[in-house]
Amino acid sequence: MAIPRPKAVAAILLSSAMAAALSACFAQGTAPSASSTDSRIKVAMLQPPRSGLTPLSDDAFKLSRWKTAETLVVLDALGDAQPSLSTAWTQLDGRNWRFELRAGVKFHDGTLLTAEQVAASLTAAANAKPKPRILDGVQLSVRTDGGNAVVVTTQTDDPLVPQRLSSPQLSILAASAYKPGGVVSPINAGTGPYVLASADGTSSATLNRFADYWGEKAASGGVDVQYVPDGTARAAALRTGTADVVEAIPVGQVAQIKADLIHEVPMPRTNTLYLNTKAGPFADPSVRAAARTSVERATIVDRVYEGRADIAEGFLGPALPWAAKERQNASYIEALKKRAEAAPANGRRIKLGTFTDRAELPEVAVQLEQQLEAAGFIVEQEVREYQHIEADALAGKFDAFILSRATVLDSGDPVAYMFSDFSCKGSFNISQFCDPEVDAALSKAAAIPAGPERRAAIAAAEALILSKDAAVPLLHERVIQGESARIRNVERDPRERALITSKTGISG
């Protein structure tokens, strides 16, 4: 019989101890079930709240994933707005939108959803300091229009108002949520199928079924949440059955877990090699083409991500299911044919940068260095913490820079990302890229309402940027979600807005 190695024994004991401790935490935080068959859902989440679960911060996404706070509209898989607390909307003109409200909706504190409270809730978000991220650069005001509608007004024409209102940071809460001093507490104040009954700081949260929910009643009696930043502990909780749903299983832990408990969710996040188009070797389009043709994406995916990522064909990946189809259009294919021919690298020296905060990126840099040197470049690597390297990257002090970038922001639309990274006045233009044709394509896309025509314009802009070789998309990341054998109907949402829904429950 093989004798376990000391390190393996230590790892097993550590995982067991973590699972036991987590099990005890869940047991302490669990409210009694309504009956012996009314089981509760246990969730292990990656990050604890950073701002006391206020919906005006990124903590709003937790409220959305627990289905306790809701917005006027939600997004479908294509990013189009669908009814939620609003049943219909009309664009009155370029700056004004009218939203009809769902009748008979109750907040968790028993008060009714009214136009006055919707206006007050959105106004509080618009006036918050700092503003919710979705409202950066947006001046928004809200007024009631009759007893069951509101009108949302923006300072400039904005075809994405419904998409903006889908952001969890613009959740509608009861008047009781808004405290003196600008504090917003979501406890007992949402409209979803689960009531946030209590929140224990950065340790846990407890939610119970809301009997008066306007939609489909929750299948489970409640949800018990623990925050578990340690990846090994989260994996152990899934492996031992301590948790029913587990966020972000580390790749290195997957081999220790039954395959049917693991689900990979494509993320709207792309690892990209940005090339300095303004100065240095990559100011020459043919040298940029040489870098592009030297990149072996499949090798990076296999060696760094153990196959748990998607090879990038463009900036927009599988998390946007429409993108691949748009790339089949003849106009897209013709745009890529205009790329410059690759020139020999001829020993050109390049400075390649990335950061340590995302553990995989230094490994990606190693792979890219080998590939670029095989093509004839001489590569100098520089790797630092992100806070110490961002300013240099934005100032163009690298010839090439590897970045993991979210391509879809809170509106569910990638135009803002493209403007930021590839327009002449882009605030995050690491490639130092400026092309009037690209700016015109992005402006055209930005002016079109959400829908097929806008998606086609976005794809056209992507093809144009790729044709200039301003950046080389490498891969699209996935998040690994764990689900126990007894749980059913858990959401696998690329936007990380949904997780537990009314349909989520315990089998048997």
In tens, the pLDDT along 188-205 reads 999 999 999 999 989 999
Q: In terms of Cα–Cα distance, which of 330, 316, 372 is closest to 348?
A: 372
**Helices assigned H by DSSP within 413-497:** 415-422, 436-447, 452-467
Helix or strand holding residue 353 (H, E) = strand 349-355
Judge whether 226 lies within some domain.
Answer: no
Peptide bond connecting 130 to the previous residue in cis, omega within 30 degrees of 0 = yes
CA 333 from centroid of its chain's CA atoms: 29
> The CATH number of the domain where 413 resides is what?
3.10.105.10
Judge whether 278 lies within some domain.
Answer: yes
Same domain, yes or no, for 332 and 426? yes
Same domain, yes or no, for 387 and 304? yes
Q: Which domain holds residue 93?
A: 69-191
Structure tokens at 252: 């290195």
pLDDT value of position 26? 63
Contact 501, 489 (CB under 8 A): yes
CA dist., res. 356 & res. 132, Å (int):
28
Structure tokens at 278: 């303004």
Contact 204, 48 (CB under 8 A): no
> The CATH number of the domain where 116 resides is what?
3.40.190.10
Judge whether 197 lies within some domain.
Answer: no
CA dist., res. 270 & res. 475, Å (int):
6
pLDDT value of position 172? 98
**Helices assigned H by DSSP within 244-379:** 285-294, 297-305, 323-326, 330-336, 360-374
Greatest extent of the chain over all pairs of C-alpha atoms, in Å = 78
Same domain, yes or no, for 367 and 280? yes
Judge whether 446 lies within some domain.
Answer: yes
Same domain, yes or no, for 185 and 273? no
Print pLDDT tens along the chain (508 aa): 344 444 444 444 445 555 555 555 565 544 444 443 358 999 999 889 988 899 998 899 999 999 999 999 999 988 899 999 999 999 999 999 999 999 999 999 999 999 999 999 999 999 998 888 888 778 899 999 988 999 999 999 999 999 999 999 999 999 999 998 889 999 999 999 999 999 998 999 999 999 999 999 999 999 999 999 999 999 999 999 999 999 989 888 998 999 999 999 999 999 999 999 999 999 999 999 999 999 999 999 999 999 999 999 999 999 999 999 999 999 999 999 999 999 999 999 999 999 998 889 999 999 999 999 999 999 999 999 998 999 999 999 999 999 999 898 677 789 989 999 999 998 899 999 999 999 999 999 999 998 999 999 999 999 999 999 999 999 999 999 999 999 999 999 998 899 999 999 998 6
Collapsing DSSP to helix, strand or coil, 327 comes out as coil
Judge whether 391 lies within some domain.
Answer: yes
Q: Which of 166, 191, 216 is the last residue of a domain?
A: 191
Same domain, yes or no, for 459 and 317? yes
Phi, psi of 59 (to 5 degrees): -60, -20
Which whole-number Å values give the CA distances from 10 to 14, 90, 242, in the listed order?
A: 6, 62, 20
Q: What does pTM read for this prediction?
A: 0.83
Q: Which of 126, 156, 191 is the last residue of a domain?
A: 191
> For the chain, how far is it from start to end, CA to CA, in angstroms?
39
Which whole-number Å values give the CA distances from 316 to 64, 231, 407, 458, in the listed order?
A: 24, 28, 7, 10
Residue type, 56: L
Indicate the pairing of strand 505-506 with strand 309-311: unpaired
Q: Which of 163, 191, 219 is the last residue of a domain?
A: 191
Which whole-number Å values give the CA distances from 187 to 69, 72, 179, 272, in the listed order?
A: 10, 19, 12, 40
CA dist., res. 499 & res. 399, Å (int):
40
Q: Burial, 346: exposed, middle or buried (Cβ in 10 Å; 0-12, 13-18, 19+)?
A: exposed
Judge whether 280 lies within some domain.
Answer: yes
Judge whether 50 lies within some domain.
Answer: no
Indicate the pairing of strand 194-200 with strand 149-154: unpaired
Looking at the 3D structure of the chain, how many domains does it have?
A: 2
CA dist., res. 438 & res. 419, Å (int):
9
pLDDT value of position 317? 95
Structure tokens at 178: 């808004």
Structure tokens at 142: 């809200």
Same domain, yes or no, for 474 and 377? yes
Residue found under tokens 């020459």:
284
Residue 296 DSSP code: -
In tens, the pLDDT along 411-434 reads 778 998 999 999 999 889 999 999
Judge whether 401 lies within some domain.
Answer: yes
pLDDT value of position 4? 44
Q: In residues, how long is the chain?
A: 508
Same domain, yes or no, for 176 and 280? no
CA dist., res. 366 & res. 354, Å (int):
10
Contact 218, 33 (CB under 8 A): no
